[in-house]
């Protein structure tokens, strides 16, 4: 049962523009949400997180928005840079326990 | 650089064999988790260890087992390998509360 879903397998965006990645979840017990970035032949790298008590968290070019009523979160990257080309995973957990991951979205930033 | 290292990076085994994968966690991280990432999917939780005790398990059969040692190293053992066990195996360490830091993974191929 896939509790975290990323319905867009890929996203192509022009350098300098905004990248918006979306994620939906079904388990209302999730209280901590994370985004990871993964390059080929490397493990996932932590990008940004948000607790369920917040609706927005910002870190430099990265902002995560959480809409609990819709069970939806999104990651905004502004401006997009060529080095942002990677696979992005949305993950969620209950009280810092196991992470449930989405299937990932491959982002390609075009020059 | 996450401070989490896994060995080996690549491995080829024959169906029915046994395999041991190793992980060295960050110093001070009491929690280690193992994930299986099949091609085109997000990582799937196998199990978690906290202070050398299993602290939870995902939907994996008993032939997947693990150990955590006092020196922040851990092992994932898989017996009676099946073709579907071919995947990237990721180790992640974390303090009890906080984001997980992943190693680069071990690519296991079962033939």
Q: Is the pLDDT of residue A107 over 90?
A: yes
Please classify residue B4 by burial: count the beta carbons closer than 10 Å to its beta carbon, then call 0-12 exposed, 13-18 middle and 19+ buried: buried
Test A97 with B41 for CB contact under 8 angstroms: no
pLDDT for B1 beyond 70: no
pLDDT band, residue B105 (cuts 50/70/90): very high
Q: Which residues of A touch B60 (CB under 8 A)?
A: none
Q: Which residue has the tokens 């939780």?
A: B45
pLDDT at A96: 62
CB atoms within 10 A of CB B33: 27
Q: Do the chains contact at B45 and A99, CB–CB below 8 Å?
A: yes
In the predicted structure, residue B97 carries a pLDDT above the cut 70: no
| Calpha distance A62→A73 (Å, rounded) | 13
User: A99 and B4 in contact by Cβ < 8 A?
Assistant: no
- B65 has pLDDT over 90: yes
Contacts of B93 (CB under 8 A, 6+ apart): B3, B4, B23, B25, B26, B29, B31, B32, B33, B72, B100, B101
CA nearest neighbour of A13 among A75, A65, A66, A93:
A75
Looking at every residue in chain B, the average pLDDT score rounds to 92
CA distance A4 to A10: 16
pLDDT band at residue B2 using 50, 70 and 90 as cut-offs:
low
pLDDT of residue A71: 97
- Across the range A32-61, mean pLDDT stands at 94
pLDDT number for residue A2: 83
- The mean predicted confidence, pLDDT, of chain A is 95
Q: Which of A99, A103, A105 to mutate to test the interface with B (most CBs of B within 10 A)?
A: A99
The sign of the torsion formed by the CA atoms of A25, A28, A34, A38 equals negative
The verdict on a CB contact (< 8 Å) between A96 and B97 is: yes
Taken in order B35, B36, B39, B42, the sign of the CA dihedral is: negative
* SS3 (DSSP) at B85: helix
CB contact under 8 Å between A42 and B104, yes or no, is yes
Summarised one tens digit per residue, pLDDT across range A82-95 is 999 999 999 999 87
How many pairs of residues across A and B have Cβ atoms under 8 Å apart? 56
Q: What is the Cα–Cα distance from B45 to B86, expressed in whole angstroms? A: 15
Query: Could you read off the pLDDT of B39-64 as tens digits, one per residue?
Result: 989 999 999 998 899 988 999 999 99
When scoring B33, B98, B99 by the number of chain A Cβ atoms within 10 A, the one with the most, hence best to mutate, is: B99
């Amino acid at each position: 049962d896939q509790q975290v879903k990323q319905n867009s397998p890929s996203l192509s965006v022009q350098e300098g523009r905004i990248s918006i990645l979306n994620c939906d979840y079904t388990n209302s017990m999730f209280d901590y949400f994370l985004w990871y970035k993964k390059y080929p032949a490397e493990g996932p790298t932590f990008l940004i997180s948000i607790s369920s008590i917040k609706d927005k968290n910002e870190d430099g070019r990265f902002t995560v928005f959480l809409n609990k009523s819709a069970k939806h979160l999104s990651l905004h990257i502004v401006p997009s840079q060529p080095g942002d080309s990677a696979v992005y995973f949305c993950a969620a957990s209950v009280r810092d326990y196991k992470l449930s991951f989405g299937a990932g979205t491959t982002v390609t930033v075009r020059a | 650089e996450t401070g989490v290292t896994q060995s080996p990076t690549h491995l080829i085994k024959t169906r029915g064999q046994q395999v041991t994968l190793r992980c060295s966690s960050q110093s001070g991280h009491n929690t280690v988790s193992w994930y299986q990432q099949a091609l085109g999917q997000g990582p799937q939780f196998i199990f978690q260890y906290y202070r050398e005790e299993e602290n939870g398990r995902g939907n994996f059969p008993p032939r997947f087992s693990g150990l955590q040692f006092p020196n922040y190293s851990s092992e994932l053992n898989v017996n009676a390998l099946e073709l579907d066990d071919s995947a990237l195996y990721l180790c992640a360490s974390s303090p009890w509360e906080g984001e997980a830091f992943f190693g680069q993974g071990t690519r296991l191929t079962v033939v």
